[in-house]
Chains A and B, each alone.
Chain A
Amino acid sequence: MNVKLNRRSFLTMAGVASGAAVLAACATPVAAPGEEPMAEDYIVNHWTWLSASDAEVWGAHIDNFNEAHAGLGIQIERLEVSSNEYKTKVLAAAATGQAPDFGWADAGERADFIADGVMIPVEEHLAEAGLDWSDFTALSVAKGRYPQFNNQLYHMPLDAMTWQLEINLDHVEEAGLDPDSPPTNNDELLEWSKALSVQEGDTVVRSGFLMTGSGLHVAFIWGLVAHQMGFRITNDELTEVCVNPDAAKEAAQWTLDLFDVHKVATRDVSDRYKAFGTGEGSMFITGPWTLNGYIEQGLNFAVEFTPNIGGELATRLSVGSQEMYIQEDESRYARSAEALTWLSDESFLWTTQGRGAACRQSILDRDDYKAHRWEYRQPFVEGMEFATFIPPKLKAAPDFKYYTSPNLVHRIIDPVWQGDKSVDEGVDELCAAWEELLAAE
């Protein structure tokens, strides 16, 4: 029998079939008859913005938790989120009642989240889960407290990172310098920088002292030196910005002079990590997350303490930590605290093969703590003694930081490094902008 399928019938049938397929795809899956429903683990949702080798080691730490808790009814589900979008995504998730249970943060830099009610204080929850707060270093805990929020603790510290000086030993040997007497002050740093720099004509082709020509790293070097010279972004009470602005101007001039007067740095560096790895720079102030990559690459380098350039020895401190987010179902806090306690108690792997120094005294005291790549890690760990350079704990913290993605600081100060704005204009403009932001707090 011949059946004629006209266009209308074909369209109708195809449309109905597609609609049915879409509806079927949207339907909730049900267990097949006779199948036993699987016993489900309690899932703790964790978000992280770690990347590269950090993400690998952290992933292994989470996997260790899941392995240790297999069959015990609790597992951690890890989701990697881009660091640039982390805050927005957490806020959006919290607004819809879907916030992760806990996630990564730099301790002390989340006043905005606390003001928004996105985070909860962690001290009691974790103590109830058995975390021994007395075992934590005082510095790491202090960084997670917020004076403007009843001095409550909002972060569980996991690692303390300081910024120290990495030196390319091949360049040192080539320049005839003594690697056992690294620079410790401004004069020595300049002497080493000049000896290590390479010029072709008037152009610096290898930076004795590596800095980027704009953006995060040069702003950070300026900020660090300014801090050592006595400049403070805010006073301790967070009521005044730009304490001792002349020191900030002096430090900015010092930074500029490295490019233009001493000629020990070139503005032709955009990727500082790549530049140090490829030998375009000889000395590089950076953090411990760089170690794994450079060691695996086979770079011949050493790590030394950050020199005292400005008169008061200091370096930046960042405390990698976990924060707990607001949940509609408050019973989740106890399970999250249980997971976090384990992650802290067992953080030996993270603080030896991962990054930073342990924040637990019991780990720092272990004999084997110094076994893994200690010659590189030692300055980062012991340099905590003078790591006093930290961003203020303000709601507008992203615009008060030097060491961050493009922000207010870079927009205002970058033209100074390019010679489009004077040091005085740059610092004065930045102070005025900060003052406005502080007033809006």
Chain B
Amino acid sequence: MTTQRLPAEASLRDRLRRMTWKGERIEWSAYFYVLPFFVPFVIFTILAIIFGAYVSFTEWRIIGDPLWVGFANYVRAFNDDFVPKVWGNTFQLAAIVVPGTTILALLFALYVNQRLRGFTASRLAFYAPRVVSVTVVGLVWVWMLDTRFGVINQYLHKVGVPYIPWLTNPDWVLWAVGMTTIWWDLGFHMVILLAALQDIPSELKDAASIDGASALQQFWHVVVPLLRPAISLVITLEIISAFRIFSQIFVMTQGGPAGASFSIIFYIYERGFMNTELGYSSALSLMLFLTILVVTLIQLRIIRERA
């Protein structure tokens, strides 16, 4: 930050007004606009993360002072038989939700982008689930996925598929939660991809067409490379969302059957909020944060390398 040379008698107001940053005059009033977001962000996010990291090294039940226990909570997490299970469940769920959402969102975006007859209604229909509260979505899908009375099994049964115990069988429950999540999340990611699709200059596709590229070749060699930043964003957001999945599980399965849908966040919630083991749940939260960070960085690296 530099200050222009000023006469000695220049007031503080003048000095502030003339301050520059990298050759540009600083627009102080703009910072004022940022404040309403910045202050709560620092208090409720940054400070909360720092405090959470501190609590993870303590034993604390809210009442009284946290008792410093060093790495005991982390040691406990590595010895907890249930931790690999919840991590495994979460990775499995992410493996269903991330590709499922990305591919379907891309297909829907491509369809809407074609501007075929009724595309406005389709766009609305694809986005509509997103405006519904996830709690409501969960409750509705519990009914839809009911083994005997659910509408999904009713239709499947009509075409000869036996009743599937979506929510009561450990082998099926993650698929059920995954389907619900994809249905709910799809619209938001479709919008991101649609915006990116609409940004692709038609000249590029025309040029490829003149060069003799088929529609599939145009898509693969022109559209997909230009969509890569948007796809990367969708995958990143979806990974973060899948690792933090909570509401669907809380409403639909409570982690069951037999812990088959217990996600990391649900376990953190159970230990922290229902058993008041804040130190342990903070340690698990920090481990989750690092997991998301590592997975996201790997994903970004892979996509960047391919670009």
Contact = CB atoms under 8 A, between A and B. Distances in A.
A15 B253 CA distance: 48
B193 to A, nearest CB: 35
Interface string B7-34: 0000000000000000000010110110
B63 interface: yes
Nearest to A83: B274
Contact of B27 (A11, A92, A214): A11
A267 B165 CA distance: 9
B273 A85 contact: yes
Interface in A389-441: 398-399, 405-407, 410-411, 414-415, 417-418, 420
Nearest to B35: A19
Interface in A146-205: 203, 205
A399 B147 contact: no
A95 B254 CA distance: 29
Binding site secondary structure of chain A: helix
A421 B36 CA distance: 54
A270 B63 contact: no
Contact of A406 (B33, B64, B262): B262
Contact of A88 (B64, B254, B259, B272): B272
B32 A411 contact: no
B274 A84 contact: yes
Contacts of B174: none
Given A88-B272, A269-B168, A399-B275, A215 B62 contact: no
Given A91-B61, A267-B168, A405-B274, A414 B256 contact: yes
Nearest to B31: A15
Contacts of A11: 27, 29-30, 33
Interface hub of B170, B253, B257, B273 (most chain A Cβ within 10 A): B257
A87 interface: yes
A8 B27 contact: yes
B122 interface: no
A406 B64 CA distance: 27
Nearest to A206: B148
B43 to A, nearest CB: 15
A112 B258 contact: no
A128 interface: no
Nearest to A280: B148
B274 A398 contact: yes
A2 interface: no
Contacts of A91: 61-63, 276
A92 to B, nearest CB: 5
A261 interface: no
A271 B27 CA distance: 59
Nearest to B173: A270
A417 B258 contact: yes
Contact of B257 (A8, A280, A414): A414
Interface string A9-21: 0011011001100
A116 B276 CA distance: 12
B220 interface: no
A416 B257 CA distance: 11
Contact of B258 (A18, A87, A398, A420): A420
A136 B271 CA distance: 36
A300 interface: no
Contacts of A399: 275
A22 interface: yes
Contacts of B64: 116
Nearest to A404: B274
A398 B165 CA distance: 29
A95 B258 contact: no
Query: What interface size band does chain B fall in?
Result: 35 or more
A345 interface: no
B255 interface: yes
Contacts of A15: 29, 32-33
A406 B270 contact: yes
A250 interface: no
B62, B147, B254, B276: most-surrounded residue (chain A CB, <10 A): B62
Given A88-B62, A205-B148, A415 B258 contact: yes
A271 B145 CA distance: 12
Contacts of A415: 258-259
A418 B275 contact: no
A13 B69 CA distance: 52
B71 interface: no
Given A15-B33, A414-B259, A215 B254 contact: yes
Given A215-B254, A418-B170, A84 B29 contact: no
B79 to A, nearest CB: 12
A205 to B, nearest CB: 6
B32 A18 contact: yes
A418 B258 contact: yes
B258 A268 contact: no
A108 interface: no
A118 B168 CA distance: 39
Contacts of B270: 405-407
Q: Count chain B CB atoms within 10 A of each CB in A88, A94, A205 and give the residue with the most.
A: A88
B262 to A, nearest CB: 7
B289 interface: no
B61 A116 contact: yes
Q: Which 10 A-B pairs have the closest CB atoms?
A: A214-B257, A414-B258, A11-B29, A15-B32, A91-B62, A15-B29, A418-B258, A116-B63, A268-B147, A214-B256
Given A11-B30, A88-B272, A116-B63, 19 more contacts: A11-B29, A11-B33, A14-B29, A15-B32, A22-B36, A84-B274, A91-B62, A116-B64, A203-B163, A213-B257, A214-B168, A270-B256, A271-B142, A407-B274, A410-B256, A414-B256, A414-B259, A415-B259, A418-B170
26 contacts: A8-B29, A12-B29, A15-B32, A18-B32, A84-B273, A84-B274, A87-B273, A88-B274, A94-B63, A112-B61, A116-B63, A116-B64, A215-B254, A270-B256, A271-B142, A398-B274, A399-B275, A406-B254, A406-B256, A406-B262, A407-B270, A411-B259, A414-B257, A414-B259, A415-B259, A418-B257
